[in-house]
Structure 1
Amino acid sequence: MLGVSHATSGAALGLAVAGLAPQAVGMVATVGTVLTFAGVTAGAALLPDLDHPSSTATRRFSWASWLAARAVRPFSALLFRLTRGPRDTGRGTHRGLTHTLAGALLLGGGTAAASARWGTPVTVGVLFVCLALAIKGLDGLVPGPPSLVIAAGLTWAAEEKLPGGTAGAAGWLGIAVGLGMLVHSLGDAITESGAPIFWPVSIRGRRWFPVGSPRPLRFRAGGRVEMLVVAPLLTALTLGLAVWVVPGVADLVTSVREHLGAGG
C-alpha cells in the first residue's frame, strides 16, 4: 500500500488501542499517552519497508536509513535462503522478515527492552522517528514544511505541553511499534502480492507463504481502489477515532460547532 494508507491505518489502530483499552479496565488515558501511542504506531507502520530501496523508511533519515536498509535486506535474504520451503520462490529481500509477525514481535520486544532500560530518551527518540516517517507518508495529503521539523516540534509538544506527556506511553512503546509493523503487513496482505505474515509456519509447502485476502477482494498498491476508496476511508476513520477517544477533542469540536452556529 501507499505510505498514506500505511500511516493512517497505523494511526487508527493506535488511537483505538490507546484510547479504548484503558477504558476496558476502568482507567482514563491522558491526551499525551493516546497521541504518543498513535504517533508511534503510525510511523512504525512504515518501518517494514526498510527492505525496499526506494521506500520512505529507507530514504527518510539519509545515511542512517540507508545503513539500516543495507542491514535489513541482506539479513532478510539470508533468512529466506536458510528457511525457505520446497515451493518458496523469490529472494526474500522485499516483503520478507519485516513483513512477518515474528519480525514485529522482534522489533517490538527490542523497543520495549530499550524503553525499560533507558526510559524517556528512548520514548522521545522513537516518537520523533515515527512521527517523521508518518508525516512523510502523509505528504500527499498534508504538504508543507519538512517533516523532520514538524516531527521535532510535535515531539517537543507531546513531552512538554500535552497533559500526561509521553510518560504514560513508555510502558506500551514496544506494543505500539509491534502493532504498527503488523498493521503494515496486514495492509500489504490485502493487495495483490500478499505478505508472509505467518513465517516460519509452513503453508502449502511454503514457509514464506504470501497470506492475503480472497483474490477478488485484493487491489493493486497505488491503484484506483486504494486512491479513491481505501485511503479516504482510513483517513476518515483516523479523524473519527481522534474525536472519539482523545480526551477533550469531542468537547472542542462541539464548542466549535456551537460557535459557528451562533455566528451564523
Structure 2
Amino acid sequence: MLGVSHATSGAALGLAVAGLAPQAVGTAPTAGTILTFAGVTAGAALLPDLDHPSSTASRRFSWASWLAAHAVRPLSALVFRLTRGPRDSGRGTHRGLTHTLAGALLLAAGVGVASARWGTPVTAGVLFVCLALAIKGLDGLVPGPPSLVIAAGLTWVAEEYLPGGTAGTAGWLGLAVGLGMLVHSLGDAVTESGAPLLWPFPIRGRHWYPIGSPRPLRFRAGGRVESLLVAPLLTLGTLALAVYVVPGALDVLLDLRARLVAGG
C-alpha cells in the first residue's frame, strides 16, 4: 500500500482505540492521550517496511534509518532461512519478520517496557519518530527536512499544551506501536501480495504463508483503486473520526467556521 494509506489507516485505528475504547489504553480520553496514541499508530504503520531499502522508514532518518534497515533485513532473512517450510520460496527480506503478528508483538513489548520504565523521554522520542514517519508517509506532501521540524514541533505541543499531555500514554505506547505494525500488515493483506501474519504456524506447507483477502477483493499496491478510492476514503474517514473522538475538536472547527464567516 501507499505510505498515505498506511499512515491514515494507522491513525484511524489509534483514534478508534484511544477515543472509543480508552479502557484498552488505561488512560482518560483527553485530547493529549488520544492524539499521542494515534500519532504513534500512524507512524508505526510504516515501520514494517524497514525491510525494504527504498521505503520511508528506511530513509527518513538518514544514517540511523540506514543502520536500522541493514539490521532488520539480514535478521529477517536469517529467521526465514531457519524457519522456512517445504513450500516457502524467496529470501524473506521484504514482507518477512516485520510483517508478522509475532514481530509486531515483539517490538510492542520492547517499547512498552521502555516507556513504562523511563516515561516522558521515551514517550516523546517514540512520538517524534512516529510523527516524522507519518508526515513523510503522507505521499510526500511535506518533503525533506521540514517534516522533522514539524514532527518536533507537534511533539512539543502535545507535551506542553494539549490537555492531558503525553504522560498518560507512558507504558501503553507499546500497544500503539503493535497496532500500527499490525494494521500495516492487514493493509498489505488486501493487496495482491498478502502478508505472512501467522508465521510461524504452518499453512499448506508454508510457515511464511501470505495471508490475504479473497482474490476478487484485492488490489494492486499503488494502483488506481488505491490511489483514487482507498487512500481518499481512509483520509476522509480519519479526519471525521478525529473530529468525533477528540474532545474539543468539533468546537474548534465550529469556532473557525464562525470566524471565517464573520471575516467574509
Instruction: Bin the TM-score by the shorter chain.
Output: over 0.9
Tell me how far apart the structure 1 counterparts of residues 27 and 61 of structure 2 sit (CA, whole Å).
37
Q: How does 1:91-170 map to 2 (within 5 A)?
A: 91-141=91-141, 146-170=146-170
Tell me how far apart the structure 1 counterparts of residues 92 and 64 of structure 2 sit (CA, whole Å).
22
Partner of 2:29: 29
Q: How does 1:163-182 map to 2 (within 5 A)?
A: 163-182=163-182
Tell me how far apart the structure 2 counterparts of residues 201 and 77 of structure 1 sit (CA, whole Å).
17
Spell out structure 1 runs of 4+ moving beyond 6 A. Answer: 23-27
Tell me how far apart the structure 2 counterparts of residues 234 and 25 of structure 1 sit (CA, whole Å).
23
Residue 231 in 1 paired to residue 231 in 2? yes
Q: How does 1:210-225 map to 2 (within 5 A)?
A: 210-225=210-225
Report which stretch shifted further, 16-25 or 69-78. Answer: 16-25
Partner of 1:70: 70
Partner of 2:194: 194
How many residue pairs get aligned? The number is 264
Q: Is the Cα contact below 8 Å between 2:2 and 2:139 reproduced in 1?
A: no
SS of the residue 2:172 aligns to: helix
**CA-to-partner distance for each residue in 1:180-237, whole Å, 9 max, x for gaps?**
0000000000000000000001111111000001111111110000000000010011
Residue 204 in 1 paired to residue 204 in 2? yes
Partner of 1:82: 82
Normalised by the length of structure 1, the TM-score is: 0.95
Quick one: which amino acid aligns to residue 177 of structure 1?
A: V
Quick one: which amino acid aligns to residue 31 of structure 2?
A: V
Tell me how far apart the structure 2 counterparts of residues 34 and 92 of structure 1 sit (CA, whole Å).
35
Tell me how far apart the structure 2 counterparts of residues 160 and 25 of structure 1 sit (CA, whole Å).
21
Unaligned runs of 5+ in 1: none
**Structure 1 residues 83, 101: closer, same or farther in 2, change over 3 A?**
same
Partner of 2:45: 45
Unaligned runs of 5+ in 2: none
Report which stretch shifted further, 25-34 or 12-21. Answer: 25-34
Could you tell me how far 1:262 is from its partner in structure 2? 6.2
Tell me how far apart the structure 1 counterparts of residues 189 and 246 of structure 2 sit (CA, whole Å).
29
Percent of residue pairs identical: 83
**Structure 1 residues 201, 240: closer, same or farther in 2, change over 3 A?**
same
**Structure 1 residues 114, 3: closer, same or farther in 2, change over 3 A?**
same
Quick one: which amino acid aligns to residue 147 of structure 1?
A: S
Could you tell me how far 1:161 is from its partner in structure 2? 1.0
Quick one: which amino acid aligns to residue 55 of structure 2?
A: S
Residue 55 in 1 paired to residue 55 in 2? yes
Could you tell me how far 1:19 is from its partner in structure 2? 0.5
**Structure 1 residues 25, 89: closer, same or farther in 2, change over 3 A?**
closer
SS of the residue 2:234 aligns to: helix
Tell me how far apart the structure 2 counterparts of residues 169 and 146 of structure 1 sit (CA, whole Å).
26
Normalised by the length of structure 2, the TM-score is: 0.95
Report which stretch shifted further, 59-68 or 249-258. Answer: 249-258
